[in-house]
Amino acid sequence: MNYQEAVLSQETGWVLMVLLGIFWIALGAYWGRKSKTIDDYMLAGRNVGLALGTATAMATWITSNTTMLAPQFAIQMGIWGLVAYSTASIGLLLFAPMARRIRNLIPKGFTSGDFVYIRYGRATWILFILISIFYSLTWLVSMGMAGGILLNSLTGIPYEYGVTVILFVCVLYTLLGGLYAVIGTDYFQSVIILIGIVIIGATVLFKLDLDVIYIDIATEQPALLYIFFPPALIALFNNLLFGVGEITHSNVWWSRAFAMGKGIGQKAYTLAGILWVPIPIAAGFIALSSGSLGINVISPDMIGPTVASKVLGYYGAISVFIIIFCSLASSIDSLLAATSDLITEDIYHKLFNSHADEIKLKKVSAIIIILLGLFTWIVCLPKIGTLATVLFFAGPMVGSTIWPIITGIYWKKAGFIGAFWGMFLGTTCGLIAYFVLGWYTATLIGTGISMLIVCLFSFLFPADFDWKELNKE
């Protein structure tokens, strides 16, 4: 039913996609030369500096969701929706002090699963791994779908081809260079995204008349300007907690905390959080101008790229294409690497082959990257649901991990019973809320229930954890 025209021709789309693909694969292979040991492959030698550390944190957090969901939030929930999405930066800012603590507590760790296993034992670890892998796969699938939708909308390239190319490119360069390749390409991708967003934001701002936009919204979509707009206000903390939960538990961020040199993590995550804030605001703002520009919105998750490319014309559309390709690649590669680490280290190494040597682990990690790519590709092809519904289903799960993780890092008295039941009941209640009240309450309720349970058990049945346990081989 979508008859909106593509701004770029299919030929231009293919040329751009092939050129960018070759560039990232070559760069991945170049950076991957350093990767000799399993520490290099999984954690980039554990000595990533401030510039690369900041860039990789920022680029990974600028996902297709930033370019697609932030405008969608703005057009669905107005000004509050814009604020709600930008609160995702708080996750990065909060993780900054935690990254420092994690690096000090568990200097030889590989994954977030390692921490949960030692800190809370096997039962909690199994539940955590299930949540973490489900979330990673959901995120991966939403990125793959976003790639297909965006490339189709901008260039007319069939959805299936777009998904296939973006996944193939990311799998190949992650395979070639592991986390070295991911962080190296992230650096270039974050520079391109930042410069691009600043140029697009400034151009759109100069081209648009703010008064006209305001009058149009006030007349046609008055609720978007309400100060008390219930759906947006409810989504505000839900989204904030979702962002915090995503970063707190996910191995994508833990692996970077382990990979950064001593004393780097806190600064890098703080800087990345600050640099990230304007990006969803700029991306969301342009969506609000669609009405005054006479642009018909068919699919709300496509509004950002559609408005940007129509306002900026042909070359603008090329810039949008490059930025989106970079933001997708920078998240897909990180997810492939971090999820593969989680499965290799936490499932294969811990459960099936505890005596596996470095060469074997590296080989398994590479196979898992390929399998993850294949899995994502198969799930993406039928194009299920919108981005928000796919991703927010994981919200209550990640929200329920916040309290077990933060108390596990800072409180000796946090024990495994509170952690396990906090995650289990938080997830269950959050999912019930998802279906009964709506997706915009699920993470909030999941996190709240988990908080109550973790705090209750920590005070009623306090544990006495020895921090040195985490520093053992």
Partner 1 sequence: MKTIQLFFLIFNFFFIYANYLYSFDIHFIDIPNKSKIKTGYINLKWDTNITKAKDMTIMYELEKSTKPTFKIPSQIYMGYDKGTFISGLPEGTHYFRVRAVKDKTEILTGWSKPIQVDVEYQSKTLTISLMISGGVIFLAIVLVVLVGNHLKRKEEGEDT
Residue closer to partner 1, measured from CB, 236 or 275 = 236
Residue closer to partner 1, measured from CB, 159 or 229 = 229
Q: What are phi and psi of 202, to 5 degrees?
A: -65, -45
Site string for partner 1, 421-440 (x = CB under 8 A): -----------------x--
**Binding to partner 1 by residue 101, rule CB under 8 A?**
yes
Query: CB of 390: closest distance to partner 1 in angstroms?
Result: 17
DSSP string, 422-469: HHHHHHHHHHHHHHHT-HHHHHHHHHHHHHHHHHHHHHHS-----GGG
Residues 6 or more apart whose CB falls under 8 angstroms from that of 145 comprise 163, 380, 383, 384, 387, 390
Site string for partner 1, 255-294 (x = CB under 8 A): ----------------------------------------
Residue closer to partner 1, measured from CB, 45 or 231 = 231
Residue closer to partner 1, measured from CB, 42 or 247 = 247
d(CA 379, CA 144): 9
Query: CB of 286: closest distance to partner 1 in angstroms?
Result: 15
Residue closer to partner 1, measured from CB, 115 or 187 = 115
Q: Which residues between 292 and 351 bind partner 1 (CB under 8 A)?
A: 296-300, 303
Please name the helix (run of DSSP H) or strand (run of DSSP E) that holds residue 226, with its range, or none.
none
**Binding to partner 1 by residue 156, rule CB under 8 A?**
no
Residues 6 or more apart whose CB falls under 8 angstroms from that of 307 comprise 71, 204, 286, 287, 289, 290, 293, 295
Q: Which residues between 49 and 78 bind partner 1 (CB under 8 A)?
A: 75-78
Q: What is the 3-state secondary structure (H, E, C) of 350-396?
A: HHHCCCCCHHHHHHHHHHHHHHHHHHHHHHHCCCCCCHHHHHHCCHH
Residue closer to partner 1, measured from CB, 398 or 402 = 402
Residue range at the interface with partner 1 (CB under 8 A); choices 39-47, 187-195, 204-212, 227-235? 227-235
For 404-431, b/e burial (b = at least 16 CB within 10 A) is: bbbbbbebeebbbbbbbbbbbbbbebbb
Q: Which residues bind partner 1 (CB under 8 A)?
A: 1-4, 75-78, 94, 97-98, 100-101, 104, 217, 220-225, 228-231, 233-234, 236-238, 240-241, 244, 296-300, 303, 402-403, 406-407, 409-411, 438, 441, 444, 447-448, 451
